[in-house]
Structure 1
């Protein structure tokens, strides 16, 4: 089954359910992704999903649309989460209204709307997990969304683990017994048939 805008909505709902209850905490001291704190990871997430929507709208074939979205200096933690959720909603709306024949630039291949939906889900869930871990809360996405996203974005990954754990392993967030870490992982942006 394809990855859909509804899957994006479900991933975003899981993100909100995990993080909205902790917007009263200081995200600038909580770890996020890599060198970023939780606050900056949420900002990065919002920028990523907005960029994917822009790619689909412009249908650029040679590069990213030349913009970067960022939080305003006075933005609060609640604003940072709202930015990520709003960006995800705009990507979902764009996926819903873009024909499946459309292709747009991504370094991992000319992606279709399903590919951008999958990229958005990986961004939402993986960076959401990074933030959640830093804040000591749990992100629990739907297993079926994780399974579809894993199959579309990481077709080479076949591991004996439940879908959320497998997606975390595919993005080098967890280790699985007997398997090498996925350092330098990449998803597949182009449709599987292309």
Structure 2
């Protein structure tokens, strides 16, 4: 299975649709399971998505592009969410336009456009859920997107979890929860490079 720019847009849209009704609330409450509050988790998510777009655009071989995207400290939760949505669109555009042969550095391997789309999906889905849970909301992303992300980014684990609902499986794989007979994962690593290439 591969992950597409459409999947990334769907993942980000599912986050935005879930969180938008709560933008009138206090986002300085802790995000679930993180040291950040919900506001800063949203800022981090937008920065991740934009950083991945920059990696695909500049294609450094051994480091991140030297920049940091932050939200104005006075930004409202709605404006933080706007940053997430816009950053997701920038990354989706880069995934669509970068040639499949492009490789760019990430600590987990030299990613191709599909790998960066998958990483963006993982960041959006998991941090979107972290924020949602911190705000007392239920996040239910599309299972078909979760299945493709799990298969592309965590191929070895995906085979082991073939009979498990893909959203709880993705949450388990990234250390967010336990599954029956499977304790919470302490450390995890995704596969950024194409599946037929090493890390």
Name the TM-score, length of structure 1 as normaliser: 0.97
* Cα distance in 1 for residues equivalent to 2:32 and 2:71: 16
1:182 aligned onto 2:185: yes
**Do the aligned partners of 2:125 and 2:141 also contact (CA within 8 Å) in 1?**
yes
Q: Deviations over 1:53-96 (max 9, x none)?
A: 00000011110000110001211111111111111111001101
1:150 is aligned to 150
CA deviation profile, 1:82-127 (whole Å, cap 9, x unmatched) = 1111111110011011111100000111000000000000000000
Checking the alignment, whether the CA contact within 8 Å between 1:55 and 1:64 is kept in structure 2 is yes
DSSP-derived class of the 1:102 partner: coil
Match in the other structure for 1:138: 138
Answer yes or no: is the 8 Å Cα contact 1:56–1:98 preserved in 2.
yes
Measured against aligned partners, the alpha-carbon deviations of 1:4-29 in whole angstroms (never above 9, x if no partner) come to: 00000110111011000100000012
Q: How many Å separate the matches in 2 of 1:94 and 1:31? A: 29
Secondary structure class of the residue paired with 2:82:
helix
Corresponding position of 1:73: 73
Cα distance, 1:32 vs structure 2: 4.6
Structure 1 stretches lacking a partner, 5+ long: none
Structure-2 residue corresponding to 1:24: 24
Query: Which residue number in structure 2 is paired with residue 170 of structure 1?
Result: 173
Q: Is the alpha carbon distance of 1:124 and 1:24 closer, same or farther for their aligned partners in structure 2, counting shifts above 3 Å?
A: same
Gaps of 5+ in 2: none
Contact between 2:43 and 2:83, CA under 8 Å: does it hold in 1?
yes
Whole-angstrom CA distance in 1 between matches of 2:194 and 2:107: 13
| 1:11–1:124 Cα contact (<8 Å) kept | yes
Quickly say closer, same or farther: Cα 1:50–1:26, change in 2 above 3 A: same
